């Protein structure tokens, strides 16, 4: 969501009551310091991902395709998220439109205020029959399993969880912004331009290579696995508690039997 003045005020108010603020990425840490949160109070710990929750499911792939009358052997491009202008799914529709046909489809998973506008855009592009709107879904792993390519087109992201979930499911991903992948080298995901022509070139290049085999990205598991992230939060908590414990070596014995 967009960071409004109200959200900023809430962050600053809660910071006054805290010893440390956890930022999920360098981008968030930078934004917090710009807002006035002292850099010394910021600890960068990413969101953790339970990879078993989004694992690939071959049966679900078939089930979802059948549910939405998508050819079982078609190449399915997908986006996932709330239908909000900031997600720029209209950009994906315009970029992908000339590349779609009976064997190359677009699946939009999510719901929101601009669904009618997106449906109208698909109609204008002449691909209404090739773009499927799945609505809001909670079976994320199943929906991801039905895809062959994931696209994240958001104008801004503080982390980029959906991209990590797609990669954990074994799908290659194209994204316009994803702070979570900063410093991670992988051939399974790449940053693409945020304009129609640039994105279209990248989608076309992916389609030309054919359907990729399902495989994960080990570096993502090492950095964002839920166990690893939980340990980092525990370590932070223990460090903060240690600061609050009295230093018994500095306690001076009281002559009448107490300490001061």
**How many CB atoms lie under 10 A from the CB of residue 14?**
11
Q: Are residues 59 and 38 in the same domain?
A: no
CA 140 vs CA 109, 169, 184: distances in Å: 9, 10, 24
**Structural domain for 41, as ranges:** 1-45
pTM: 0.80
Residue 64 and residue 38 in one domain: no
What is the overall mean pLDDT for the chain?
90
Q: Give per-residue pLDDT as tens, 97-136.
A: 999 999 999 999 999 999 999 999 999 999 999 999 999 9
- Kindly state whether residue 64 falls inside one of the protein's structural domains: yes
Residues 105 and 162 in one domain: yes
CATH number, domain of 75, equals: 3.40.50.2000
Indicate the range of 10-19, 42-51, 130-139 predicted with least confidence: 10-19
Judged by DSSP in three states, 152 sits in strand
Q: What is the mean pLDDT of residues 61-88?
A: 97
């Amino acid at each position: 969501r967009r960071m409004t003045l109200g959200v900023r005020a809430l962050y600053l108010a809660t910071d006054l009551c805290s010893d440390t603020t956890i930022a999920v990425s360098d981008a968030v840490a930078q934004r917090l310091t710009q807002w006035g949160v002292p850099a010394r109070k910021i600890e960068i710990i990413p969101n953790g991902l339970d990879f078993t929750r989004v694992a690939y499911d071959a049966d679900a792939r078939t089930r979802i395709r059948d549910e939405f009358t998508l050819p079982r052997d078609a190449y399915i491009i997908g986006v996932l998220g709330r239908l909000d202008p900031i997600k720029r799914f209209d950009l994906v529709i315009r970029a992908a439109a000339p590349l779609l046909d009976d064997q190359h489809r677009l699946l939009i998973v999510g719901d929101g205020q601009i669904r009618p506008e997106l449906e109208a855009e698909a109609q204008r592009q002449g691909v209404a029959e090739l773009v499927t709107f799945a609505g809001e879904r909670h079976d994320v792993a199943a929906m991801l399993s039905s895809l062959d390519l994931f696209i994240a087109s958001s104008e801004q992201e503080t982390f980029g969880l959906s991209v990590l979930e797609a990669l954990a499911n074994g799908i290659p991903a194209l994204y316009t912004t994803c702070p979570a992948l900063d410093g991670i080298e992988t051939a399974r995901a790449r940053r693409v331009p945020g304009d129609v022509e640039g994105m279209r070139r990248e989608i076309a290049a992916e389609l030309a290579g054919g359907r990729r085999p399902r495989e994960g990205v080990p570096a993502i598991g090492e950095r964002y696995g839920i166990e690893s992230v939980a340990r980092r939060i525990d370590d932070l908590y223990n460090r903060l508690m240690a600061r609050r414990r009295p230093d018994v070596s500095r306690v001076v014995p009281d002559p009448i039997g107490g300490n001061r």
